Every structure is written in C-alpha cells, then in structure tokens.
C-alpha cells in the first residue's frame, strides 16, 4: 500500500494515470497468470453482490472458484478468495514477497510509470488463483473498466451491472461517458450479460457489443423475478427465465438483490451453454444462494439491545435501493450514522435519506479519503435534515446514536463501506487492520 493508491489517495486520478501496458508488462514477468477462464464484472452498483452470488453457486456446484473483489470490509485479504475463503496471512505475505522485486523493476525500468496498489493486488489474485488451479475465476472491475487493471483477463462471460453517476471526476460526468468506460470490458464474440440499465447506458452497451460482435443478453428481457421477505436476513426468490424456473432462499435482503440474483442466473445459464454443469441440479444453485457470504449489505446486527442496519450504499442509486428495502413502518424512526468518501456525491445521498430519518449523526471513518464530520453535517443541514451530532470517529458516532435511539427506533449506518466496516468491527469484535506506517501519495508520479 506504499504504492500509488487511488482508493486511499485524496487526489482523484485522471485517465492519463491508467495504462494497460503497465499491467501487461507486469503479467508477462510472471508467465501471464491472467489466462484462466474468467467471469468479468463491471458496473456502478451490484457488481460485488453478483460476484459473491456466482462464487457461492459455482462453489456448491463443485467448481474450485476464485473471487477477486474490492474494496474490503476488514482485511485486505478478503479481496482474494478461493471457494469463499480469504487468502491466508502466510500465503498473502509469500505472494507479496515473491512479486515485490519485479513490481519494483517494472516501476523503475518500464516506460509506463509506477505500479499501483490495485495493480499489484490484481497480480496477486491472478497468481494465487493460478497456483490453486481454480476452474473459474470471478473478477470484479476496480474502477471503470476500459483501462482497469483487470481488463486483461480471459473472459468466458462479461457482466455489466446497473450503471449510474459515480466517480465522475475520473470516469466522466454523464451516464454515456461512464457507460463507455464500463463497456470497455466487452471482448470480441464474448457473451455480455446486461443487467437492467437506464436508456443512455443501455444504448452505449448495445453499441459496443455490436461493434465486437458480442452476443448481448438483456436480463430484463430474458427473465422476470419476484420475492417475498422471510425476515431481515433472507427472502424467498422466484426467477423465471426462458430456460427454467428457479425458486430458492436468498440470503441477501432487499429488492435490488432479486435483480442481482436474476443477473447471476442468466450468467449461470450462459455458462451451461459453455459446458459448465451449474444449473443441472437446482440443489447446488439453491444451496449457493442460501449461503452467500457478503456482509455489510442490508445486514442487521444488534448492540446494547438496539437494532442496527448496515449497508455500504455510496451513491444516490444505491441509497434509493436502501430506502426501497426498508419497511415503510420504519420511516421517521431511523437515526442515521453517515460518513462518505471524496469522489462520492454526499448531498444527493443525504437528500434522499431525509425521507426516512429523524436525524443524522455525521461521522468520519478511518479511511484517508473520508469527508470530515463537519462537511457531512453541512450537507445534511442544507437538505433540512436535523443534525444530532458530529464526531470524528465512527465509534463515537455510534455511541451517540445508541444513546439517542429509543426501543422503537433503529440505527442505519451507511454512506461508505468504510463506515459499515468500522461499525461491524465494534459490534462483532472484529480485529482492526490498520496501516499507520503507510504514506498516502497525494499526487502519484505515474
């Protein structure tokens, strides 16, 4: 993490900072571990959940499955998983030790600038999956797609989840511009699974797919879905495609997760056409969807007898999904613990949340890009939402919310995955992984 780290730097990266040539050169030094069959996933919202769903089902179907996602909740090792298990500390340390000399060499000798933290993490994942001899790897794009370090994988299937306005300083300030970056992962003649999109994004994806002669499968046209809540931890899902009808318990809550499940089902059907036996038995599929390990997404926990909902929503689209997933009976009885990171639009998120909250506790997470609680509070005041407190730590903010919440109210912690992670660490007693010795590069020289 001492390398240029766009996730943690407070300076927004420009497109001139990204080079596939740099990643390609690095992969060549390790005999191109990127050649394993992959499911490549881009999008603004839902790509992590879709990745987790696919990993769970493929694992239950008997495939050794690699999963690479970002960011992480508690430890960087969560980003590299095989059959759902994060890479061990010793293996991770070994991977870093073995690759570091070449990372330094490529940074110093290459003509494309220094390797970034995300690039070395991508390299570690691909080497780890190759050494584990996984049957299939599920790779989530980090930022954008076209110039993302993951865009050198060998795709069996491409998935694009819903696209919205996010990271506008880097990807562009219109849906069309952002969609073009996301659609950059589409490969010639590789099937593209397109989740429901706004018209501007859909038009771009279709255009790029046509250009590459890639079969486009529109989830909205291929299937329909419905669900029924069982409790705050799961829902009963029914998804009917042109091929089959699937009924199962889904261990992720919220209406949007039904759409993500539908996207995953269509992807699994496409894999079946390629010879993967994943939907022959509904038992493997049902078992996978019922046992997804993807915390921090409409997750409910309890502390001191108080209910807390944790959701990593970090843009307006995701906040809309969060609101749609909360029962109307809770409206007006919610205290918000909210923090956000630079690069995300705070005012639109809080403006939507005013509909359901009686007040907000503004917090600042440990993340180097976190807005101050004062900045969060100013945005809240501009929306008319009552500011109940401002704290420069999530822990202090949670304490304040707990004191102010009565037995009939709930706490919702959201705004960034970093806020959710810190609340989970407090509630569940999870050890904190800190990086106090790492200097954050404000203006990376790449």
Segment 227-246 mean pLDDT? 89
Domain tally for the chain?
2
SS (H, E, C) 100-157: HHHHHHHHHHCCCCCCEHHHHHHHHHHHHHHHHCCCEEEEECCCCCCCCCCCCCEEEE
355 phi, psi to nearest 5 deg: -65, -25
407: its two tokens: 């037995």
Q: Note whether 17 and 444 are within 8 A (CB).
A: yes
> Starting from the edge strand earliest in sequence, which strands make up the sheet with 223-231, in order?
223-231, 234-241, 245-250
Say yes or no: 28 and 150 in one domain.
yes
What angle in degrees, to the nearest 10, is found between the helix axes of 47-60 and 282-290?
130
State mean pLDDT over 62-71: 96
Average pLDDT, the chain: 90
* Judgement on whether residues 37 and 103 belong to the same structural domain of the protein: yes
311 shares its domain with 392? yes
Reported as half-sphere exposure (CB side, CA atoms, 13 A), residue 333 has a value of 14
Instruction: Give the residue, 280 or 327, on which the prediction is more confident.
Output: 327
- Look up the domain containing 337 and give its range: 299-428
In a domain, 446, yes or no: no
Count of CB atoms situated within 10 Å of the CB of 93: 12
Note every long-range contact of 224-232, with CB atoms under 8 Å and residues 24 or more positions apart, other chains counting: 224/262, 225/258, 225/259, 225/261, 225/262, 226/258, 227/255, 227/258, 229/253, 232/298, 232/300, 232/309
Distances (CA, A) of 124 to 7, 55, 96: 17, 19, 7
Choosing from 290, 309, 329, the residue where a domain stops is: 290
**Range from 163-167, 208-212, 414-418 carrying the lowest mean pLDDT:** 163-167
Tell me the average pLDDT across 224-253.
Answer: 90
Q: What is the mean pLDDT of residues 382-397?
A: 96
In a domain, 152, yes or no: yes
Which pairing describes strands 65-68 and 80-82: parallel, antiparallel, or unpaired? antiparallel
For the chain, the straight-line distance linking the first and the last C-alpha, in angstroms and rounded, comes to 15
**Window from 59-63, 163-167, 423-427 with minimum mean pLDDT:** 163-167
**How many Cα atoms occupy the beta-carbon half-sphere of 58 within 13 Å?**
28
The whole-number pLDDT of residue 231 equals 73
Both 269 and 331 in a single domain? no
Higher pLDDT, 442 or 356: 356
Q: What pLDDT score was predicted for residue 435?
A: 75
Note whether 225 and 346 are same-domain residues: no
- 365: pLDDT strictly greater than 90: yes
Distances (CA, A) of 411 to 40, 252, 397, 405: 35, 19, 11, 7
Q: Is the pTM of this model over 0.85?
A: yes
Whether 89 and 138 map to the same domain: the answer is yes
Q: Is residue 316 part of a domain?
A: yes
In a domain, 10, yes or no: no
What pLDDT does residue 280 have? 77
pLDDT for 107 beyond 90? no
Q: What percent of the chain has pLDDT over 70?
A: 92
Query: In whole angstroms, what is the distance from residue 410 CA to residue 412 CA?
Result: 7
Establish if 374 belongs to a structural domain: yes
* pLDDT at residue 186 is higher than 90: yes
Greater confidence (354 vs 9) lies with: 354
pLDDT of residue 206: 97
pLDDT of residue 442: 43
With respect to residue 162, please indicate whether it lies within any of the assigned structural domains: yes
Give residue 19's pLDDT band: very low, low, confident or very high (50, 70, 90): low
Cα–Cα dist 240/247, whole Å: 9
Which has the minimum average pLDDT: 100-109, 392-401, 414-423?
Answer: 100-109
Residues in Cβ contact with 108 at an 8 Å cutoff, skipping those fewer than 6 apart: none
Average pLDDT over residues 410-423: 96
pLDDT, mean of residues 99-128: 90
Residue 165 pLDDT grade (very low, low, confident, very high; cuts 50, 70, 90): confident
Please classify residue 97 by burial: count the beta carbons closer than 10 Å to its beta carbon, then call 0-12 exposed, 13-18 middle and 19+ buried: exposed
pLDDT at 17: 53
pLDDT in tens, 430-440: 998 887 766 54
Residues contacting residue 406 through CB under 8 Å, at least 6 positions apart: none
CB-CB contact of 153 with 37 (8 Å):
no
Whether 364 shows a pLDDT value over 90: the answer reads yes
32 compared with 169, residue with greater pLDDT: 32
Question: Is 58 in the same domain as 195?
Answer: yes
What's the CATH code of the domain at 418? 3.90.190.20
* pLDDT range class, residue 215, cuts 50, 70, 90: very high
Q: Which pLDDT band holds residue 441 (cuts at 50, 70, 90)?
A: very low
- Taking only the tens place, the pLDDT of each residue in 259-270 is 999 999 999 999
pLDDT at 327 (0 to 100):
86
What CA–CA distances, in Å, run from 301 to 223, 293, 308, 403, 427?
A: 33, 15, 5, 17, 8
The pLDDT confidence band at residue 345, using thresholds 50, 70 and 90, is confident
344 and 276: one domain? no
Tell me: do 314 and 215 sit in the same domain. no
Domain shared by 322 and 251, yes or no = no
Are 159 and 216 contained in the same domain?
A: yes
Q: Evaluate if residue 282 carries a pLDDT over 90.
A: no
> Which band of pLDDT confidence, cut at 50, 70 and 90, is reported for residue 21?
confident
Q: Are 366 and 434 in contact (CB under 8 A)?
A: yes
Same domain, yes or no, for 125 and 265? Answer: yes
- pLDDT of 5 reads 57
Alpha-carbon span 75 to 55, nearest angstrom: 19
pLDDT for 416? 95
Residue 242 token pair: 């042109």
Across the strands, what pairs with 157?
39
Q: Poorest-confidence range of 34-38, 363-367, 432-436?
A: 432-436
């Amino acid at each position: 993490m001492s390398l240029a780290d766009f996730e943690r730097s407070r300076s927004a990266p420009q497109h001139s900072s990204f080079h596939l040539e740099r990643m390609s050169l690095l992969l060549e030094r390790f005999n191109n571990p990127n050649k394993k069959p992959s499911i490549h996933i881009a999008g603004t919202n839902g790509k992590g959940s879709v990745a987790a769903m696919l990993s769970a089902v493929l694992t239950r179907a008997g495939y050794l499955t690699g999963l690479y996602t970002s960011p992480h909740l508690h430890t960087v090792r969560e980003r590299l998983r095989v059959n759902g298990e994060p890479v061990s500390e010793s293996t991770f340390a070994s991977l870093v030790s073995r690759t570091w000399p070449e990372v330094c060499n490529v940074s110093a000798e290459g003509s494309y600038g220094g390797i970034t933290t995300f690039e070395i993490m991508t390299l570690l994942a691909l080497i780890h999956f190759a050494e584990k001899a996984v049957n299939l790897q599920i790779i989530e794009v980090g930022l954008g797609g076209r110039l993302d370090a993951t865009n050198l994988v060998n795709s069996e299937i491409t998935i694009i989840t819903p696209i919205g306005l996010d990271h506008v300083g880097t990807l562009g300030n219109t849906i069309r511009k952002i969609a073009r970056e996301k659609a950059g992962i589409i490969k010639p003649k590789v099937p593209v699974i397109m989740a429901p999109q706004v018209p501007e994004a859909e038009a771009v994806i279709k255009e790029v797919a046509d250009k590459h002669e890639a079969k486009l499968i529109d989830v909205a046209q291929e299937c329909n879905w419905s669900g029924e809540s069982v409790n705050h931890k799961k829902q009963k899902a029914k998804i009917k495609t042109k091929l089959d009808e699937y009924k199962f318990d889904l261990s992720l809550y919220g209406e949007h997760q039904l759409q993500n499940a539908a996207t995953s089902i269509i992807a699994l059907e496409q894999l079946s056409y390629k010879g993967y036996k994943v939907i022959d038995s509904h038992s493997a599929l049902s078992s996978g969807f019922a046992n997804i390990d993807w915390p921090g997404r409409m997750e409910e926990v309890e502390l001191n007898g108080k209910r807390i909902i944790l959701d990593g929503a970090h843009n307006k689209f995701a906040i809309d999904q969060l609101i749609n997933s909360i029962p109307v009976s809770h409206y007006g009885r919610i205290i918000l613990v909210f923090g956000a990171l630079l690069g995300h639009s705070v005012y639109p998120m809080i403006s939507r949340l005013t509909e359901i909250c009686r007040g907000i506790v503004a917090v600042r997470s440990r993340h180097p890009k976190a807005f101050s609680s004062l900045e969060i509070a100013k945005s809240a005041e501009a929306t008319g939402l009552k500011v109940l407190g401002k704290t420069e730590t999530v822990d202090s903010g949670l304490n304040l919310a707990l004191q102010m919440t009565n037995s009939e109210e709930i706490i919702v912690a959201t705004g960034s995955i970093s806020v959710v992670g810190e609340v989970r660490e407090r509630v569940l007693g999870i050890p904190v992984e800190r990086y106090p010795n790492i200097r954050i590069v404000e203006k990376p020289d790449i």
